[in-house]
């Protein structure tokens, strides 16, 4: 049976068997620059001859409609490797990331380790989207699927991909829409994506389309990244549990007090070992902590002979009086005995009582 007939039978309602598990490719094959069509299993020809069920009355989901459109395209003629309809296998070393980085690296990300394990056991189920690199012959540039690309490279396997001719605008829009549908970028990663697109000269209309949001939100994204240095964001990581309100507060506080406190928090021992959300919390706490009261310079009291008899220090809401008893042994006890009298006078709103002194010289006669 011809390929067109086989595919027509598939469209009629018979699904081909799922391909077998993907095995590790020999290292020698990965060095090849050629495009290798992804392996597929042949359909069950005997089953395809049976009368197909009537699916016309049943609603089809968007995914099914998209699959049927792809199969119809293939049924009308053989797909070309670079028309975006044929899955091919590419050497991961021939691929480069998008010109707009949309993720913040997090070496301790458990979800990436889970992706590697999933692809090791079950193969890569969803192809990535690439284009021919506009500035490097023989290489490809990724629109989306960067994590799958990294996982395939870590496993030493070819990466399954769709190759499609894309302009720069089409590439970032496809990249943004895929992230939007997956909803796996954190708030700060979306902010970085928007700010980096603007920094590279993309029009706001393109950024809106890629981000699926309105201009006011794009402006907030760009403002946050303008206030928070990218090296601080890189140190904190993607922080997936931290949303817009706390990043806005973080940005405002950083602008108010400067980056010194944040830099000190990042440099603390053990900071890098914390989870990314905990790293954000540590830096935010450093930015919002109340500064310690600045200690005043001590005051020294000298007696008429110029001796430093008493010393006063104020710190943390405390008044500390020190008396050198080697110089004035009776002064401390005398002040201590008069404390009740002094305090009562102050609470009554009176001036401190002045001790009565006898006039110098001879006393007047009685």
Ramachandran angles phi, psi of 252, nearest 5°: -65, -45
- Residue 347's pLDDT is 82
- Say if residue 272 is in the same domain as residue 322: no
Percent of the chain clearing pLDDT 70 (strictly above): 69
- Residue 36's pLDDT is 66
pLDDT in tens, 60-73: 444 444 444 444 44
Average pLDDT of the residues in 119-140? 92
Average pLDDT of the residues in 9-33? 40
- For residue 314, what are the contacts with CB-CB under 8 A and spacing of at least 6? 295, 296, 320
CA–CA gap between residue 109 and residue 224 (Å, rounded): 24
Q: Is residue 73 part of a domain?
A: no
- Residue 363's pLDDT is 45
- Say if residue 173 is in the same domain as residue 278: yes
Model confidence band, residue 34 (pLDDT cutoffs 50, 70, 90)? low
- Residue 31's pLDDT is 39
pLDDT in tens, 79-92: 456 666 789 999 99
- Say if residue 222 is in the same domain as residue 338: no
Domain that holds residue 215: 81-288
Average pLDDT of the residues in 265-272? 92
- Say if residue 102 is in the same domain as residue 237: yes
- Say if residue 275 is in the same domain as residue 195: yes
Residue whose tokens read 């296998």? 89
CA–CA gap between residue 311 and residue 219 (Å, rounded): 57
| pLDDT of 340 strictly over 80 | yes
- Say if residue 90 is in the same domain as residue 171: yes
- Say if residue 312 is in the same domain as residue 249: no
Q: Is residue 39 part of a domain?
A: no
Q: Is residue 31 part of a domain?
A: no
Query: Which helix or strand (DSSP H or E) is residue 309 part of?
Result: strand 308-315
Q: Is residue 13 part of a domain?
A: no
Nearest residue to 192 via CA among 255, 116, 98, 118: 98
Largest CA distance in the chain: 145
Q: Is residue 131 part of a domain?
A: yes
CA–CA gap between residue 147 and residue 106 (Å, rounded): 12
Q: Using the 8-state DSSP alphabet, how is residue 92 labeled?
A: G
Say how many domains are in the chain: 2
Q: Is residue 17 part of a domain?
A: no
- Say if residue 157 is in the same domain as residue 178: yes
- Say if residue 316 is in the same domain as residue 172: no
Number of Cβ within a 10 Å radius of residue 152: 28
- Say if residue 153 is in the same domain as residue 208: yes
288: Cα separation from own chain's centroid: 20
CA–CA gap between residue 204 and residue 54 (Å, rounded): 47
Q: Which of 288, 308, 337 is the last residue of a domain?
A: 288
Q: Which of 269, 288, 307 is the last residue of a domain?
A: 288
Average pLDDT of the residues in 168-183? 83
CA–CA gap between residue 306 and residue 99 (Å, rounded): 75
- Residue 285's pLDDT is 93
Model confidence band, residue 14 (pLDDT cutoffs 50, 70, 90)? very low
- Say if residue 201 is in the same domain as residue 118: yes
- Say if residue 314 is in the same domain as residue 226: no
Q: Is residue 232 part of a domain?
A: yes
Q: Is residue 43 part of a domain?
A: no
């Amino acid at each position: 049976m011809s390929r067109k007939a086989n595919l027509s039978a598939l469209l009629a309602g018979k699904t081909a068997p799922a391909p077998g598990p993907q095995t590790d490719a020999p290292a020698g094959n990965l060095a090849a620059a050629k495009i290798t069509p992804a392996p597929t299993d042949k359909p069950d020809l005997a089953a395809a001859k049976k009368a197909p069920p009537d699916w016309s009355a049943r609603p089809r989901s968007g995914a099914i409609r998209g699959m049927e459109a792809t199969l119809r395209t293939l049924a009308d003629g053989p797909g070309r490797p670079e028309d975006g309809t044929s899955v091919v296998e590419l050497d991961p070393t021939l691929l480069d990331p998008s010109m707009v980085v949309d993720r913040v690296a997090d070496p301790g990300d458990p979800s990436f380790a889970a992706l590697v394990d999933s692809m090791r056991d079950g193969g890569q189920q969803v192809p990535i989207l690439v284009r021919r690199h506009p500035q490097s012959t023989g290489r490809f540039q990724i629109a989306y699927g960067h994590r799958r690309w990294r996982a395939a490279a870590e496993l030493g396997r070819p990466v399954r991909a769709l190759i499609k001719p894309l302009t720069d605008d089409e590439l970032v829009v496809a990249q943004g829409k895929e992230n939007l549908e997956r909803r796996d970028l954190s708030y700060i990663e979306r902010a970085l994506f928007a700010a980096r697109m603007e920094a590279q000269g993309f029009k706001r209309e393109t950024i809106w389309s890629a981000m699926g949001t309105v201009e006011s939100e794009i402006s907030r994204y760009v403002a946050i990244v303008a206030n928070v240095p990218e090296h601080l964001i890189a140190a904190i990581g993607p922080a997936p549990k931290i949303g817009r309100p706390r990043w806005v507060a973080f940005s405002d506080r950083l602008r108010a007090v400067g980056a010194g406190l944040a830099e000190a928090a990042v440099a603390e021992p053990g900071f890098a070992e914390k989870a990314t959300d905990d790293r954000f919390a540590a830096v935010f706490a450093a930015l919002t902590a109340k500064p310690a009261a600045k200690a005043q310079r001590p005051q020294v009291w000298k007696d008429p002979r110029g001796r430093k008899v008493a010393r006063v220090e104020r710190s943390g809401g405390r008044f500390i009086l020190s008396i050198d008893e080697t110089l004035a042994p009776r002064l401390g006890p005398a002040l201590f005995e008069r404390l009740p009298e002094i305090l009562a006078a102050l609470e009554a709103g009176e001036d401190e009582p002045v001790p009565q002194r006898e006039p110098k010289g001879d006393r007047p006669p009685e």
